[in-house]
Structure 1
Amino acid sequence: METSVVVGFVVAVFLVSVVPGPDMLFVAANAAVGGRRAGVVAAAGMSTGIVVHTVAAALGLGALIQAAPQVLNGVRIAGAAFLLYLAYLTWRASRQHVGEPEDVPDVPRRTLRKTYLMATLTNLANPKVILFYLAFVPQFISTGASAWPATVQFLVLGAIFILVGFPVDASVALLAGGLTSKFLRAGSTVRRRLERVCAGIFAALAARLATDIH
């Protein structure tokens, strides 16, 4: 691959990564509830989703969706339903804290494994990532006798996407976790409010995905 193509892709991916979107909001929400470690784990889960998207694109997912557009609507519906489920779980967790003493020493958190899996599934259910691979990445695929196989190019560009995107998401996690960590131990009342805000974020993301269904 030509150096100019790689540099152009890096710049483009960086700009895409710093614009707030569903993935970034998900990372920030988990960092707010679970602290910096949970946020970074969520960022790692998002990157794992990107790995799956990359492999799928390299193996022909783009051709499948172009041949059967209804598949994309199915992904949108699944993504919206999953985010609503996350909103429900977070809201329910906030209600379970009612009646706890205000000096609870430790903040209940999701396990890091569950946070990782939820982040991965959230990324996989985001149709905007699929559209990214369908409409954006192919612009950087080279053709010709001397070009690398398209599958290899997809894999390389996907790896670059992760190398650029993960530090951005991890930085958001560290910032969000740092700003909220002192409040997470301020008592069950503050914790309930934070969890309900996060539930609202998940519900808003579900509505945003739902509006993209045609």
Structure 2
Amino acid sequence: MEPALVAAFVVAAFLLSVAPGPDMLFIVANAAAGGRRAGLVSAVGMSTGLAVHTVAAALGLSALIAAAPEALVVVRAVGAVFLVYLAVTSWRDSTSGHEATPARKRSLRRLYAMATLTNLANPKVVLFYLAFLPQFLSHGPHAWPVPAQLLALGAVFIVVGLSVDGTVGVTAGSLADKVLGRRAVRRRLQRASSMVFGGLAVRLALDTR
């Protein structure tokens, strides 16, 4: 792989990672409701989803989806339904009379799975791998095989993305940790998280690009 292309990809990956998007909003919402551990676990889950997308792209599954655009409609629908479920769950938690913090008590394993599935159900990530990664592939007799280059670029993107998302999650969670002990504030944060999830669901359902 050409060093200049790799360097350009690192810069592009960083700029894409720091731009607020659905994944970052998901991480912030969970961190606000459950603290920095929840934020960090959400970031790791998102990166796991990216790893799956990377392997799929290397195996040619993204090309298969490109040949069958209707598959993205199914992915979009699944993602929207899942986000609606998260919105309803967060709102119900905020209206429960229990003293324990539902988001904090929620299994970190479950939160990790939720974040991974949210990323996997985002058709924009599939389109990203279809349109963005190929621009940084090297060609020529000494170039790595395309699958190896896709895996390498995907790994770089995951490292950069996890660094940014992890920092955002821990920062948002640290701020939330200071106020989660107050039941009224916790309830507001959970309702705010519910609205974020609901808004992401609407955006995903209506975005047909």
What's 1:131 paired with?
Answer: 127
- Is structure 2 residue 4 aligned with structure 1 residue 9? no
- Is structure 2 residue 170 aligned with structure 1 residue 174? yes
CA drift of 1:62 comes to: 2.1
- Is structure 2 residue 198 aligned with structure 1 residue 203? yes
What's 1:192 paired with?
Answer: 187
What's 1:38 paired with?
Answer: 38
Name the TM-score, length of structure 2 as normaliser: 0.95
Unaligned runs of 5+ in 2: none
What's 1:161 paired with?
Answer: 157
CA drift of 1:143 comes to: 2.2
Distance in 1 between residues matched to 2:141 and 2:3, nearest whole Å: 18
CA drift of 1:35 comes to: 0.5
What's 2:101 paired with?
Answer: 107
Unaligned runs of 5+ in 1: none
Distance in 1 between residues matched to 2:158 and 2:202, nearest whole Å: 27
* Partner of residue 146 from structure 2, selected from 131, 147, 150: 150
- Name the SS for the 1:142 alignment partner: coil
Q: 1:116 to 1:171 in 2, by over 3 A?
A: same
After superposition, the C-alpha distances for 1:106-163 in whole angstroms (9 at most, x for unaligned) are 5332111111000000000111111110100110112222111100000000100011
Letter in 2 for 1:195: Q
- Is structure 2 residue 71 aligned with structure 1 residue 71? yes
Contact kept, 8 Å, 1:77 with 1:213, in 2: the verdict is no
Distance in 1 between residues matched to 2:64 and 2:113, nearest whole Å: 26
Distance in 1 between residues matched to 2:63 and 2:159, nearest whole Å: 26
Distance in 2 between residues matched to 1:210 and 1:194, nearest whole Å: 24
Name the TM-score, length of structure 1 as normaliser: 0.93
After superposition, the C-alpha distances for 1:146-204 in whole angstroms (9 at most, x for unaligned) are 111100000000100011010100110111112221111012x2211111110000000
Letter in 2 for 1:145: P
**Alpha carbon RMSD of aligned pairs, Å?**
1.2
Contact kept, 8 Å, 1:76 with 1:213, in 2: the verdict is no
CA drift of 1:66 comes to: 1.6
CA drift of 1:4 comes to: 0.2
User: Sequence identity, in percent?
Assistant: 61
Worse-superposed segment, 49-58 or 172-181: 172-181
Letter in 2 for 1:42: S
Distance in 2 between residues matched to 1:205 and 1:138, nearest whole Å: 28
- Is structure 2 residue 96 aligned with structure 1 residue 96? yes
CA drift of 1:76 comes to: 0.9
